[in-house]
């Protein structure tokens, strides 16, 4: 088991007064099999007029805040302590079961993860891409890791190459993207094969190069995909790093796609014409 202390600090600076800020944050780690959130706290500067938590449709903890004090700087910081004890799933337990011989999902909640969503359309182009992996009769134990490997091999990880408004067509046209794009592509391919798949947001503990100290604030949020497999349950896949997830990963939230569980988003009322955004994340093992 590994215990992590996670700090996630987001700072906005505006060039004119902001009269009101409304925000929603998915920053509290979930309690899941293999993970337990010991504590989590969100602070907002300047102080909030409203700060409340709720559980959303998918069981994630969402924080909502309102700042009505005149401000030009807004800082949202989450600090959490979470313990993780998770090993990658052994897909060999699936045996020779073929992906195209599975019964459709019976539960309405699982069916929600088979349908297209705003950022994960199921197009003919995506079906053709997925068809290169999900060939007739191929065992699930082979097809699922092959999909993860193919995305990792076909696309370059290039920070800043895409943004929150980018589409899967943008990713496939450019041949490069970031973890959110790769997670969306994996989810689209799995859904096109009739497999329930969800988008997962969280953190990944990073390791500095040998002989180099770990720098503060250089970790980042991460995203991956999760697929529901018979007799195994939900299996989390990281196409960015070509692996199944283990105890280095911390889950904060999951949904149909990024729009459901963006770490932080909101609306401001201001005449400001420009702003800067700074994000600093630390994922530190405690023992």
d(CA 260, CA 26): 9
Q: Which pLDDT does position 215 carry in this prediction?
A: 53
Domain 2-84+262-285 bears CATH identifier 3.40.50.150:
no
> Is 91-260 the same fold as 2-84+262-285?
no
Secondary structure, 3-state, 78-93: EEEEEEECCCCCCHHH
What pLDDT does residue 84 have? 97
Residue 140 dihedral angles phi and psi, to the nearest 5°: -55, -40
For residue 163, what pLDDT is reported? 85
Q: Is the pLDDT of residue 62 over 80?
A: yes
**Alpha-carbon dihedral sign for residues 55, 56, 62, 66:** negative
Please name the residues in contact with 165: beta carbons below 8 A apart, sequence gap of 6 or more: none
Smallest CA-to-CA distance from 193 within 131, 112, 146, 142 is with 131
How far is the first Cα of the chain from the last one, in angstroms, to the nearest whole number? 9
SS (H, E, C) the chain: CEEEEEEEEEEEEEEEEEEEEEEEECCCCCCECCEEEEEEEEEEECCCCEEEEEECCCCCEEEEEEECCCEEEEEEEEEEEEEECCCCCCHHHHCCCEHHHCCCCCCHHHHCCCCCECCECCCHHHHHHHHCCCCCCCEHHHHHHHHHHHHHHHCEECCCCCCCCCCHHHHHHHCEECHHHHHHHHHHHHHHCCCCEEEEEEEECCCCCCCCCCCCCEECEEEEEEEEECCCEEEEEECCCCEECCCCEEEEEEECCHHHHCCEEEEEEECCCCEEEEEEEEEEECC
Please state, rounded to an integer, the average pLDDT across all residues of the chain.
93
What pLDDT was estimated at residue 197? 97
Q: For residue 27, count other CB atoms closer than 10 A to its CB.
A: 25
186 in Cβ contact with 237 (< 8 Å): yes
Quote the CA–CA distance of 73 and 21 in Å, as a whole number.
Answer: 11
Structure confidence at residue 96 as a pLDDT band (50, 70, 90) = very high
Quote the CA–CA distance of 284 and 3 in Å, as a whole number. 8
For the cut 70, the answer to whether the pLDDT of residue 234 exceeds it is yes
What does the domain layout of the chain look like in residue ranges? Answer: 2-84+262-285, 91-260
Q: Looking at residue 103, what is its pLDDT?
A: 77
Tens of pLDDT, residues 171-230: 999 999 999 999 999 999 999 999 999 999 999 988 766 666 665 545 789 999 999 998
Does the domain made of 91-260 have the CATH classification 3.40.50.880?
A: no
Residue 160 confidence (pLDDT): 87
């Amino acid at each position: 088991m590994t215990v992590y202390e996670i700090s996630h600090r987001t700072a906005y600076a505006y060039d004119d007064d902001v009269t009101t800020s409304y925000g929603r944050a998915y920053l509290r780690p979930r309690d899941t099999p293999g993970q337990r959130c010991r504590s989590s706290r969100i602070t907002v500067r300047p102080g909030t007029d409203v700060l409340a938590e709720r559980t959303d449709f998918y069981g994630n903890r969402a924080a909502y805040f309102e700042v009505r004090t005149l401000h030009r700087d807004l800082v949202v910081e989450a600090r959490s302590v979470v313990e993780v004890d998770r090993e990658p799933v052994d897909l060999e337990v699936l045996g020779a079961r073929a992906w195209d011989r599975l019964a459709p999902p019976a539960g309405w909640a699982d069916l929600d993860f088979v349908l297209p969503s705003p950022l994960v359309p199921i197009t003919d182009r995506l079906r053709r891409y997925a068809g290169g992996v999900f060939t007739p009769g191929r065992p699930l134990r082979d097809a699922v890791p092959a999909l993860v490997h193919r995305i990792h091999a076909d696309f370059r990880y290039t920070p800043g190459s895409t943004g929150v408004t980018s589409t899967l067509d943008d990713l496939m046209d450019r041949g490069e993207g970031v973890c959110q794009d790769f997670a969306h592509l994996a989810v689209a391919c799995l859904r096109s094969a009739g497999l329930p798949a969800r988008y997962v947001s969280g953190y990944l503990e990073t390791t500095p190069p040998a002989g180099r100290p770990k720098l503060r604030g250089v970790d980042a949020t991460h995203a991956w995909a999760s697929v529901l497999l018979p007799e195994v349950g939900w299996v989390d896949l990281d196409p960015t790093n070509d692996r199944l997830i283990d105890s280095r990963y911390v889950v904060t939230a999951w949904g149909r796609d990024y729009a459901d569980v963006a770490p932080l988003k909101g609306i401001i009322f201001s005449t400001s014409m420009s702003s800067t955004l700074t994000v600093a994340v630390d994922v530190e093992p405690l023992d």
